[in-house]
Amino acid sequence: MCSIGSGPPRRSTMHAELHCHSHYSFLEGASSPEALAQRAATLGYEALALTDRGGVYGMVRFSRAAREAGVRPIAGALVELDEPGSGESVILLARGADGWRELCALLTAAHAPWAKGLAAVPAEAVAALSPEVCVLIGHEESRLARRVDAGDREGAEAEVRWWRERLHPRQLALALATHGTPVEERRCRQLASLADATRVPPVATQGALYAEPGDRMLQDVMTAIRLGRPLAELGEALRPSDAWCLRSPRHLARAHARWPHALEHARRLAAQCEDPMPSLRHHLPDLRGPAGESPDTLLRDRVRAGVAWRYGTPSERVLAQVEHELGVIRRLGFAGYFLVVDDIMQFCTREGILAQGRGSAANSVVCYVLGITNVDPVSLDLLFERFLSEERPEYPDIDVDIASDERERVLQYVYRRHGHDHTAMVCNVITFRRRLAVRETARALGFREEELARIARAIGRRSPEDLVDALDEAGVAGERDAPLLRTLAWCAARLEHAPRHLAIHPGGMIISARPLTDLVPVEPATMAGRTVIQWDKDDAEAAGLCKIDLLGLGMLQVIQNAVALLEHSRGESLDPATFACDDPEVYDMLCRADTVGVFQVESRAQMNSLPRLRPRRFYDLVVQVAIIRPGPIQGEMVHPYIRRRNGEEPVTYLHPALQPILERTLGVPLFQEQGMRIAVHAAGLSPGEADQLRRAMGSKRSRDRMDTLSRRLIEGMARNGIPRDVAERIFRQLAAFADYGFPESHAASFALIVYLSAWLKLRRAPEFLCALLNAQPMGFYSPDTLIRDARRHGVVVRPLCAARSAYDCTLEPLEDGDDPAAGPAAVRIGLRFLRAVGPAAREPLETARAHRPFHGLVDFALRSGLAPAALEQAALTGAFDTWGLRRRDAAWQIRAIRNTWSPLAPHTPTPVPTLPLLPREDAVAAEFAATGLSVHHHALEILPPDVRRRFRPIASLANLPHGSPAVVLGLVTCRQSPQTARGFVFLTLEDPSGMLNVVVPPDVFDQHRHLLRNAPFVVLGGTVEHVRPPGGTSALAPDLPTPPQDSTHPAPPVVTNAANLRVAWARAAHPGSTPPDPARRLARSFH
């Protein structure tokens, strides 16, 4: 017999398992790689191979978990032969680094010709592998097993000989697996006989699909989900017992008692395999100058030019920081990394693409002078070691935000620049979210479709463990027995967060000097021209691969478009990279929370806080970006900062040594860099050690290191004269702060975009609105709300017009009677907002318009390229008014043209009958149904005037005292229910006079859940709130009013965000009756 190793077989209580699936065999394996590794350690395994179907998706985390558990990890995969779904496969195991490279290349080839999620290779490709890859055949899903099960001894021997003749003698083994079924027992006997006859060693395997016996039910549910049928219909598609778990060595010794040498051969083969993960080495392309200059020399030259560009004559502090950073970069060997990113940024500059780095890269002056980032880390006193440290010799993390419409151009440039063999995106593992986990589990267990809808609504944000109570409330529990409901809850809880399928990461790119397939398998992405590796961003970084994030950001697209419009309409040039953030009126606008459409500060929570935080300089915006986030809110840092900001609480420090560090944030720690500085200045740690402390505190996996760190930190503070009790309090504050601290550099990068968008909204409102509309969908608000807000600020907006509207929104000269206060141009709505018009309509429409102007409805219908549905929508929105056609008349003609037009004959006009005018309410409803917006009408205008007059205009709430009862009618334009809000729901309500922030307590929301989630119009009763300083918003309410039957109030001047309303009750705008037809159609258009 060909020997995998030498020496006689010997009995052992240990085991090495060579065939095991995790949940990265999507919807087939039921346990995580970590759970499998832990189970193997508990059972005393010496080695475990992870052999997921078609990939090594979980190998990085499996390798780490197995090594930590004391189990030797083996890299492998199950690969299908010939074509996906053939039912024939082989098990491949990498002996080491060389075998890993071959395995990655084979898996890449297996995925290349097939659709997403499918992989297969010809048997000849497997036979061509070197001895560094072991090949196992004979398992249940193999050609050999099929022939053995069919009683084809001759065919089985021929199959083994085919492989043996092509593979190295030490490369091939027969996999024997038995779970106690008669079929498997017979198969194992025949395979053992074949092993003797062909001199190919047998190895004992399990083909495990989960870790514990109790996981069988979850695996059954996954099988039902994968096959799209309920469990009751699956029959033999399900495993007959719970034996497909990892079993103890003693159990396996009994199962393989008739061929114990198979167990020993498995151990010997495993002993020859080494984990390839620690040996992976990733190198970036070696970019050199035209004269062959080294990367370090080339980077220094680029930085020298950048210093002159950014600083002119730099200070000694700037030069010292530049030298310090270049020294660290040189010693770490990372110059190539910066040159790669710099090359991408240079491409963006050449092509006029707006891009800027963010995140910890903004701590680096090298990044700043290269133009990668746009905030000066020297003037902001940012900490470089938060970005890069010699104590942390791993590639830094540079995230580059790119104007969203241009990102694909940048990605394709990177592919061209470095080659598809050296470049790929990281994957994004899509997991089961809570509702989907519950719904799919319920479907697998046989629940009816109508029950599934109720279950999905009932679960909400509850954990699956609370599902039984949720189902009882939904009226499902009484219809099903308790054990079934408990099974549903148990399986759904374990299915939540399990991998479902792969997707592409929004922007993470891996660039390598070596072919990427030496490091990791690569698959085609669903998007043409892209490829994706089999690891997500966390696993890629853990494996030592260098990732560069190239992310699309909608607001950068808005700014880029606005800059282009400014050049065209006003002849102005604006460079975001060098823009001064010092206009006091911009800060005035922000203090008023007049921020609809402004980056990062347009949410309800930001609007609520702006009048209280009162930003007056750029660093205040840095704080504003960072503080209204889940971490600071949960850490209860928001209110202390606001109180100190408004002089309601003294600014204090735990020790005077902390004052220079926390002074800018009024003694409240908000940023990760502040925690690092405390460690440096108060405890004497080096900046690199302080970064290690930050990482340890911020990582749940590193909590065990906290005792050692606390001792060192406290002793260091004691040496610096800080009393021990104070030092312990500082450490406790740092430990708590680590859970919510935000990177100061990231906040600074975003604050620049906040200011730029706010400046454009204030100073160049027409261009900003036009750019914002053309970048939709993005942000919190609908195009209708953005238009209404701009009109309140004096922007002239014109409706769709077949003669004048392009695909995008455009700027037009003002006409007589237009108010020029907001700017010299009006905004014309583009045809892109017709719901039946998609991006494919742009080119034919613009081509036809460039050829000659449209001169009538028939000409437009025949040449524009718009579909009949889009033409009818245009007619009903008044787009043909310019040619004297009423809406119904235009729609009639469109239908007549559609019914009679032929490309072989000229159009013959059809007489138009006398049609009644479209009622105003119907016209408004038609506009919203067709476009989601109306330039001249508010959506509330579809309601009868007598209904609207009963309610106080929203803007008038600004004149009511704090705590006054009020009832309002409005259009719900935004709904939010943050995780940190403890069940509170926040709405934005709008009427023609303005906007209102609405706070809905949990009990009120539960009482009116369907209405508040779905109704476009609502009537709300509650209590008005104002906050100090005047103009702010917040809301707590005492006694609450009842709905008024009839009242009228004069409309006050138009304002925005004048007050909040805390809700006590809600009702539909048409209580006790069916809404009029226009209202019903409008409601449908909002969904």
Angstrom distances, CA of residue 752 to CA of 86, 311, 768 = 56, 18, 16
| Predicted pLDDT of residue 910 | 64
Confidence of residue 908 (pLDDT cuts 50, 70, 90): low
Residue 132 has pLDDT above 80, yes or no: yes
Domain 790-931 sits in CATH 1.20.120: no
| Predicted pLDDT of residue 1032 | 39
Confidence of residue 949 (pLDDT cuts 50, 70, 90): confident
How many CB atoms within 10 Å of residue 1017?
Answer: 24
Residue 1039 has pLDDT above 50, yes or no: no
Amino acid at 716: G
Task: Quote the CA–CA distance of 710 and 693 in Å, as a whole number.
Answer: 10
> Residue 80 in contact with residue 54, Cβ under 8 Å?
yes
Task: Quote the CA–CA distance of 357 and 929 in Å, as a whole number.
Answer: 40
| Predicted pLDDT of residue 901 | 57
| Predicted pLDDT of residue 754 | 96
- pLDDT, tens digit, for every residue of 461-496? 566 566 666 666 666 656 667 788 888 888 998 999
Q: And the tokens for 755? A: 């200011």
Alpha-helical (H) ranges within 812-882 are 842-851, 857-863, 868-876
Same-fold call for 16-211+246-279 versus 295-422+507-555: no
853 upstream amide cis, omega within 30 of 0: no
Q: Phi and psi at residue 301, in whole multiples of 5°?
A: -65, -40
| Predicted pLDDT of residue 1069 | 74
Residues 143-164 as b/e (b if ≥16 CB within 10 A, e otherwise) read bbbbbbeeeeeeebbebbeebb
State the Cα torsion 977-983-986-987 to the nearest 10°. Answer: 80
| Predicted pLDDT of residue 461 | 58
> Residue 184 in contact with residue 204, Cβ under 8 Å?
no
Task: Quote the CA–CA distance of 325 and 360 in Å, as a whole number.
Answer: 14
| Predicted pLDDT of residue 1050 | 34
Task: Quote the CA–CA distance of 929 and 835 in Å, as a whole number.
Answer: 8
Alpha-helical (H) ranges within 720-794 are 724-737, 744-763, 765-774, 783-792
Angstrom distances, CA of residue 7 to CA of 3, 131, 261, 729 = 9, 21, 11, 63
Q: E strands of 593-740, at which residues?
A: none
Residue 1074 has pLDDT above 60, yes or no: no
Of the chain, the end-to-end C-alpha distance in Å amounts to 70
| Predicted pLDDT of residue 1075 | 45
The residue length of the chain stands at 1087
Which has the minimum average pLDDT: 168-177, 297-306, 744-753, 1017-1026? 1017-1026
| Predicted pLDDT of residue 594 | 92
Which has the minimum average pLDDT: 602-606, 752-756, 1032-1036? 1032-1036
State which of 130-139, 597-606, 932-941 shows the largest mean pLDDT: 130-139
Q: Is 139 exposed, middle or buried (0-12, 13-18, 19+ CB in 10 A)?
A: buried
- Mean of the pLDDT values across residues 996-1018? 85
DSSP letters, 829-841, are PPGGGSTT--GGG
| Predicted pLDDT of residue 956 | 86
| Predicted pLDDT of residue 820 | 81
Task: Quote the CA–CA distance of 555 and 152 in Å, as a whole number.
Answer: 67
Task: Quote the CA–CA distance of 75 and 546 in Å, as a whole number.
Answer: 22
903 upstream amide cis, omega within 30 of 0: no
**Per-chain mean pLDDT for the chain:** 86
- Mean of the pLDDT values across residues 945-951? 81
| Predicted pLDDT of residue 454 | 75
Residue 1072 has pLDDT above 70, yes or no: no
**Most distant pair of Cα atoms in the chain: their distance:** 102
Which of the two residues, 686 and 749, has the higher pLDDT score? Answer: 749
- Mean of the pLDDT values across residues 62-87? 94
Which of the two residues, 479 and 115, has the higher pLDDT score? Answer: 115
Strands, sheet with 531-536, edge to edge from the N-terminal-most edge strand: 355-358, 399-403, 547-553, 499-511, 423-431, 531-536, 522-524
- pLDDT, tens digit, for every residue of 676-697? 888 888 888 888 778 877 777 6
Measuring CA to CA, which residue among 634, 635, 633 is closest to residue 737? 635
Residue 395 has pLDDT above 70, yes or no: yes
Q: And the tokens for 1027? A: 């906050």
Domain ranges of the chain: 16-211+246-279, 295-422+507-555, 790-931, 939-1086
Task: Quote the CA–CA distance of 321 and 311 in Å, as a whole number.
Answer: 13
- pLDDT, tens digit, for every residue of 768-778? 999 999 999 99
| Predicted pLDDT of residue 464 | 59
Task: Quote the CA–CA distance of 97 and 102 in Å, as a whole number.
Answer: 9
The whole-model pTM stands at: 0.85
Confidence of residue 213 (pLDDT cuts 50, 70, 90): very high
- Mean of the pLDDT values across residues 713-720? 88
Which has the minimum average pLDDT: 16-20, 145-149, 222-226, 891-895? 891-895
Tell me what percent of the residues of the chain surpass a pLDDT of 90. Answer: 54
How many CB atoms within 10 Å of residue 575?
Answer: 8
Task: Quote the CA–CA distance of 63 and 48 in Å, as a whole number.
Answer: 10
Cα 455 to chain centroid distance, Å, stands at: 26
- The fourth-level CATH superfamily of domain 939-1086 is Nucleic acid-binding proteins (2.40.50.140)
Alpha-helical (H) ranges within 912-1001 are 920-931, 945-948
Task: Quote the CA–CA distance of 1027 and 608 in Å, as a whole number.
Answer: 9
| Predicted pLDDT of residue 913 | 73
Tell me what percent of the residues of the chain surpass a pLDDT of 70. Answer: 88
Q: And the tokens for 632? A: 């600071």
> Residue 392 in contact with residue 431, Cβ under 8 Å?
no
Which of the two residues, 701 and 206, has the higher pLDDT score? Answer: 206
Output DSSP code: residue 553: E
Residue 1041 has pLDDT above 50, yes or no: no
Contacting residues for 798 by C-beta, under 8 A, at least 6 apart: 804, 812, 826, 827, 828, 829, 935
> Residue 827 in contact with residue 796, Cβ under 8 Å?
yes
CATH number of 295-422+507-555: 3.30.1900.20
State which of 55-64, 253-262, 848-857, 959-968 shows the largest mean pLDDT: 55-64
Q: And the tokens for 7? A: 């020496």
Which of the two residues, 949 and 596, has the higher pLDDT score? Answer: 596
CATH number of 16-211+246-279: 3.20.20.140
Residue 1067 has pLDDT above 50, yes or no: yes
> Residue 876 in contact with residue 891, Cβ under 8 Å?
yes
Confidence of residue 1086 (pLDDT cuts 50, 70, 90): very low
Residue 636 has pLDDT above 80, yes or no: no
- pLDDT, tens digit, for every residue of 499-550? 999 888 888 899 998 899 999 999 998 888 889 999 998 899 889 888 899 9
- Mean of the pLDDT values across residues 820-832? 89
Residue 1057 has pLDDT above 50, yes or no: no
Measuring CA to CA, which residue among 95, 223, 212, 205 is closest to residue 142? 205
Task: Quote the CA–CA distance of 513 and 419 in Å, as a whole number.
Answer: 10
Measuring CA to CA, which residue among 785, 707, 698, 727 is closest to residue 987? 785
Measuring CA to CA, which residue among 431, 497, 489, 485 is closest to residue 463? 489
Residue 1085 has pLDDT above 70, yes or no: no
Measuring CA to CA, which residue among 817, 648, 665, 680 is closest to residue 741? 665
| Predicted pLDDT of residue 629 | 78
- pLDDT, tens digit, for every residue of 279-325? 887 778 878 777 888 999 999 999 999 999 999 999 999 999 999 99
State which of 336-345, 431-440, 633-642, 732-741 shows the largest mean pLDDT: 336-345
Residue 667 has pLDDT above 60, yes or no: yes
Measuring CA to CA, which residue among 121, 93, 94 is closest to residue 109? 121
Q: Is 894 exposed, middle or buried (0-12, 13-18, 19+ CB in 10 A)?
A: buried
Which has the minimum average pLDDT: 116-120, 263-267, 679-683? 679-683
Contacting residues for 827 by C-beta, under 8 A, at least 6 apart: 766, 769, 770, 773, 790, 795, 796, 797, 798, 809, 810, 811, 812
Residue 105 has pLDDT above 80, yes or no: yes
β-pairing, 985-991 vs 965-976, is: antiparallel
Coil, strand or helix: which one is 8?
coil
| Predicted pLDDT of residue 1080 | 45
Residue 452 has pLDDT above 90, yes or no: no
Confidence of residue 663 (pLDDT cuts 50, 70, 90): very high
